[in-house]
Amino acid sequence: MRQRVFELRNAVLRQFAATLAVSSLLVLIGIGGASAQSGTPAPDQGKAAAQPADAAKDAAQNQRRTDEFAEAAQVINGPAGNPECVWLGRRVVRLMWRDDLDTAFRHLDLYDRFGCPGGHIQAAFRCLTRFGGQIDPKVAETLDSRVHACWINPNAQPQQAAAASPPAAPAAGNSPAPQPAASPSPAASPSPAPSK
């Protein structure tokens, strides 16, 4: 009797396994056919279309960086104009502006290790603080371009301060007639008082 029960149980288990295998195979075939007919492109096709656009964007960005390094090497005499000093120094100034001081100090250690002048970072950051009102925190390019401009010329002044400074007095008595200064933008006029 026991042997018949085991045979019956084995027969049921074999039938269940065969049914499960056939149904799994049918489901896999159905999923494969549905995905082949769907309108979504294969991952390789999407990557192939995006690669030329990314390559052109990367090439333009690399060219811009190369131009910035060449400009810094021409304008700045000494080690502050070296590409590694320019790259690390601008990065330190940018991180300090964003209040990421821990990361800025780690980069500053690398900057010092390359023999770059620490005073240039101080001067560039001082310049950047003068332009604080002109930097849009939502647009990364404004910060990056201002950091680069301050790295190239740490003595730069904001336009408003340059326009407010008095013009230099002529040194010689036979100088041509002075040119009129550019008129500053008009200030907002007060609203007229209501008549009584």
The answer on pLDDT for 159 being more than 90 is no
Helix (H) / strand (E) containing 94: helix 83-97
**What is the reported pLDDT for 182?**
44
Backbone angles phi, psi at 40, to 5 degrees: -75, 135
**pLDDT bucket at 162, cuts 50 / 70 / 90:** very low
**What is the reported pLDDT for 72?**
84
DSSP string of 176-189, one letter each residue: PPPPPPPPPPPPPP
Torsional sign, CA 169, 158, 74, 117: positive
79-109, pLDDT tens digit by residue?
889 999 999 999 999 999 999 999 999 999 9
**pLDDT bucket at 195, cuts 50 / 70 / 90:** low
Calculate the average pLDDT of the chain. 76
DSSP 57: H
**What is the reported pLDDT for 153?**
92
Question: If you average pLDDT over each of 7-16, 61-70, 74-83, 137-146, which comes out highest?
Answer: 74-83
Report pTM: 0.53
**What is the reported pLDDT for 37?**
62
**What is the reported pLDDT for 171?**
47
Lowest mean pLDDT among 31-45, 103-117, 120-134: 31-45
Q: Output the six-digit token pair for 148.
A: 């680069």
Query: Around Cβ 6, how many Cβ atoms within 10 Å?
Result: 9
31-77, pLDDT tens digit by residue?
776 665 655 555 565 565 567 778 888 888 888 888 888 888 898 88
3-class secondary structure, 155: coil
Share of the chain above pLDDT 70, in %: 71
Distance, in Å, from the CA atom of 118 to the CA atom of 116, rounded to the nearest integer, reads 6
Which among 98, 136, 105 is positioned nearest to 121, based on CA atoms? 105
The answer on pLDDT for 180 being more than 90 is no
- The larger pLDDT score, comparing residue 13 to residue 195, is at 13
- The larger pLDDT score, comparing residue 72 to residue 112, is at 112
